[in-house]
Structure 1
Amino acid sequence: MDEERNGEQKEGDGKVRIRDRLKHFTWAWFTSTMSTGGLAIALAETPHRFKGLYTIGVIVFTFNLILFLALCILMLTRAILDFPRFKRSFVHPPESFFFGSFWLSISVILGGIQLYGLTQGPGGAWLVAAIRILYWIYAACSLLNAIQQYWVFIIRTPRHPIPFNPSWFLAGYSAMLTGTIASLIAPSQLPEHRVPIIVSGCAYQGFGWLISMVLIVMYIIRLMECGLPPPPVRPGMFIPVGSAAYTIIALIGQARAIPPSYGYFAAHPSSADTLQTLALFVGIFLWIFSFWLFAIAVLACVWAVPHMGFALPWWAFIFPNVGFTVATVMLGRELESDGVLWVGSVMTIGLVAIWCFTAGMCVRAVMRGEIVWPGRDEDKDM
């Protein structure tokens, strides 16, 4: 093993240079920003609060913004250093699967702007308008991305079959999170803007959920036929957890944001109460399914602990479980259950702990050359 590593380090002057490492900076790095931004959202939504928690959340949100900009600069550097490889990264799996994490990172940034700038912050009317415009831009881009990515996978398959991987979910996730953003920003909008946001958010959430259901079936069949994935990428098994969890958040949030005295809802006075009740019980219906997927992923990772070397899919420990945590909190609020709310708070603490551990392992892996290194990243088969 040592001889193999030494052999990989030999290149021209005897070592892999920084510029050569940057050529292997892949889209999977944006799983770190979608998870860090998701953590900021979880901190904003946690029910049991203390003085200074808002400040902590703002620090995490700001750090994520800086990290996102840094990753964009590094990706641009990669494009400049090796444009052919960069171009192939959009169409060559497994790296191309992770392009959705770039859009998901933007979605959690939009959610953070809403929560820390408007819902809990001092933002004014200009920010309300700005977040609405950004929402519609993101909605268009995320849908185009989902169409483009799945089309690329479909036309490539007859020549080069693609083994199933949980990262397949990310392209659909990028559109599905439009529904989650809608549920967050709708309450701060005027009724004439709120209703289109709620309706579009419901449509996007339905699209993302149905795509996820198809992929969940393929995912379970793959597990039953081929067994568990390699230990380093088993954290990716948490990705399906978020499909049901973020659907719970979107449905309950959108139902609660309905303006009862405007448009369709004014003409049908009982519709708002009916949809709120329906959203709650559909959420309960989906929660146990999300928990089942969560439990399977936990068992798979615990089973492989001695052999789990770090890989960027480790960030999947966080982002899907942010959705699971916030969904639990929202159900607790709707049911007015203090016990469920405490479960949500404990889950938030767990997210903070696993984020710290994952971040530390990520830095360690970079320093040791385990990632961002020729032949060791998602682009190794290009």
Structure 2
Amino acid sequence: MHTIHNSRIISRPLSQLQHPREVIRQFTPNWFAATMGTGVLALALAQLPVRIPGLHAVAEGLWLFNIALFVLFSVLYTARWVMFFDEARRIFGHSTVSMFFGTIPMGLATIINGLLVFGVPRWGQGVVSLAEILWWLDVAMSLACGVLIPYMMFTRQEHSIDQMTAVWLLPVVAAEVAAASGGLLAPHLADAHGQLVMLTTSYVLWAFSLPVAVSILTILLLRMALHKLPHENMAASSWLALGPIGTGALGMLVLGADAPPIFAANGMPGIGEVAAGIGLIAGITLWGFGLWWMLMAVLITLRYLRDGIPFNLGWWGFTFPLGVFSLTTLKLASTLNLSFFSLFGTLLVALLAIMWMIVSKRTVQGAWRGELFVSPCIAGLKK
């Protein structure tokens, strides 16, 4: 009887919450990591060099589903600020949850990229104007995250080297993701000057992000050498380091490919050719750096698996970094026409799809029971 009773409790929606309103009260930006992982899988499936019947339709369906997720999460998080303002603003003082503000513009970037991959073929060039508006919004949010969250770290939050994890990367990497999106969007603009403005802005965004991210990675290496691996609750964070490296490589490849025609159209043909060469070499070099981090992340994850890894929303950290590294690998395959990158990229996308299905299933189960709706920055407060 006790088992049956427990199964009924578990099957009831939001059984772990005292009231359905707690979904809003406990909602945090961590959820937007799901839109990053879902969006990057849709984009990666669409870029696969193999032609599988129905695969593009699946990718497009995932992208549309991701839009619905992003809108839902935006409504819930906005509602939290309206209904529980005093509790919501505590996030700025929290040393971990505040980092996840960066997931909001990065999730939006996957939707913008999807407008070009799926929206243009389906609805025509008219969606480019929408993508441009959303991109500038994404840029504004990325710049804000990249400056304000580190400022909060320096002035309001408590941090220590032994407690540091790769989540420090999340607010600063958003600008880099916006840079890669700008590289994809710039050739679709009709005006040559507008293309140059977007291309230049994207280079600035890339430089705004990558050196800071590499600085954090340097500290992270020291932290892990001195204090070993973080708590198993942060197991997925070992993959986050792959994000800025993969995105940085992808950004250089995409911006470099854009540079010759855009600079030439604005009377600077020589600069475009130089930028293309630098972009390719930088992309290959950063890809090699990313390969080291990926292999290290695999070994670290295997080490964690021996003792078990508790599920939390941080598991979405397994998906987006792997996704951008997959996209970079496939971009190198199409640029260099080397079968190794094509085969390896296809393998990475297959691994990404498997990981996405595992994490999605666990997320749906946890959300249904209500156990994932926990805001650490108000933990311990009376309801």
Query: Given the two structures, how large is their TM-score scaled by the length of structure 1?
Result: 0.88
| Map of 2:177 onto structure 1 | 177
3-state SS, counterpart of residue 50 of structure 1: coil
- The Cα shift of 1:130 comes to 2.6
What are the within-5 Å matches in structure 2 for residues 45-60 of structure 1? 45-60=47-62
What are the within-5 Å matches in structure 2 for residues 1-382 of structure 1? 16-118=18-120, 121-157=121-157, 160-161=158-159, 163-190=163-190, 191-260=192-261, 267-305=267-305, 306-368=307-369, 370-373=371-374, 377=376, 379-380=378-379
- The Cα shift of 1:211 comes to 1.1
**309-318 or 106-115: bigger deviation:** 106-115
Check conservation: 2:91, 2:377, Cα contact below 8 A: no
1-structure distance, mates of 2:138, 2:175: 9
Check conservation: 1:47, 1:344, Cα contact below 8 A: no
User: Judging changes above 3 Å, is the alpha-carbon distance between structure 1 residues 15 and 33 closer, same or farther for their aligned structure 2 residues?
Assistant: closer
1-structure distance, mates of 2:107, 2:271: 34
Check conservation: 1:195, 1:259, Cα contact below 8 A: no
Check conservation: 1:326, 1:344, Cα contact below 8 A: yes
3-state SS, counterpart of residue 373 of structure 2: coil
2-structure distance, mates of 1:203, 1:325: 24
| Map of 2:9 onto structure 1 | none
2-structure distance, mates of 1:273, 1:56: 37
Post-superposition CA distance 1:91-143 (Å, at most 9, x none): 3222111111112111111111121112xx13434322232232223222321
- The Cα shift of 1:285 comes to 1.1
CA RMSD of aligned residues (A): 2.2
2-structure distance, mates of 1:165, 1:182: 29
Check conservation: 1:19, 1:81, Cα contact below 8 A: no
Post-superposition CA distance 1:324-363 (Å, at most 9, x none): 0011111111111123112111211111110000011122
Check conservation: 1:27, 1:99, Cα contact below 8 A: yes
Structure 2, unaligned stretches of length 5 or more?
1-15
3-state SS, counterpart of residue 79 of structure 1: helix
Post-superposition CA distance 1:204-245 (Å, at most 9, x none): 011110110111011111111111011132111111101111
Structure 1, unaligned stretches of length 5 or more?
1-13
Post-superposition CA distance 1:281-331 (Å, at most 9, x none): 211111111111111111111111142010111001101111100111111
- The letter for the 2-side match of 1:257 is D
2-structure distance, mates of 1:127, 1:353: 31
1-structure distance, mates of 2:167, 2:97: 9
| Percent identity (aligned) | 24
